[in-house]
Amino acid sequence: MGGLVPSGSAPTVEGMDVERDGVSSGGVRERVGLRERLGAALFARVAGPDGPAVRQRIHGTPGVRWFAPDRPIRTVHGDASMFVGGLAALLVQSLHPSAMAAVAAHSGYRSDPWGRLQRTSTFLAVTTFGTAEDARAAVDRVRAVHARIRGTTASGRRYRADDPHLLAWVHAAETDSFLRAHQVYGARPLDAAGCDAYVADTAEVASALGVPDPPRDRAALAAVLRSYRPELARTAEARAAVRFLLFHPPLPLFVRPAYGALAAAATGLPAPEHRALLGLPSDPLSAAAVRPPGLAVVRAIRWAMPVPREQV
């Protein structure tokens, strides 16, 4: 973790000479303390009570990883822009009636939203940064859960969570949302080749989860998303999920403004046709208007939660 670092005779914060810039050591300690408290609170929400132990296992266990340190998936999934991308993914995924019915009936997103977030964030962290053995075990656990989930939509259509067609939709919506968020809110946006490489990286995880022939570049990803357009709809369950995510998050009042900025930023990310289906403004000006507050909150999160050093 960054913060107070010895450098010669004067302490530094993020490379700033404290004595030279006239910042007292007490002010430095206060700033570092605030950063650590805020970071710990955010981490506890995202990772849960077992977060520190899980993080140590992910980053501290020696062994072969699915992805090398220089792969784009590590850049994207290790950035604070994922807070926006994750919300955007949930919004877009809600547009598929069968996927949304499965989420509403089986995910516990209302009764246990933080537990769902913690399970999802742990899965992403393990498959992106963890050992190949742990990544494979995480995938096997998810596939076992999916195999048990069956149901019927409000319109009478049967679904199962391990349906390759539904898995492909969830993967495409997630990959597109994470990449869009990173390109707008990420600390190091990817170039064109990097964007294609990110899609290819995520395809490796998708294949392990049971997605047949997942897209491996942006053109193929866009084609997959277009192919689902006739199936999408804003069902009653989707409207309820969007209202919950945007307007009724299970958060204390004092953090609602920051969450509101993230949620607003998420509404500006999906493709215009998806925003229109969600009942959100789909014009470019509306998307641009939510970016400044979104950027401010993402930068604050990035400051509070620096990426841990790898111990591979």
CA 30 to CA 175: how far, in whole Å? 39
Write down the pLDDT at residue 42: 76
CB-based contact 116:180 (threshold 8 Å): no
pLDDT below 70 — which residues of the chain?
A: 1-32, 111-112, 307-312
Cβ contacts of residue 140 below 8 Å, gap of 6+? none
* pLDDT digit string, tens, across residues 97-134: 999 999 999 887 776 677 778 889 999 999 999 999 99
* Phi-psi label, residue 38: left if phi above 0, alpha if psi -120 to 50, beta otherwise: alpha
How many CB atoms sit inside 10 A of residue 2's CB?
12
Distances (CA, A) of 301 to 65, 116, 157, 217, 223: 27, 20, 41, 29, 33
Q: How far apart are CA 180 and CA 166, in angstroms?
A: 21
Question: What's the whole-model pTM score?
Answer: 0.86
The predicted pLDDT at position 14 comes to 32
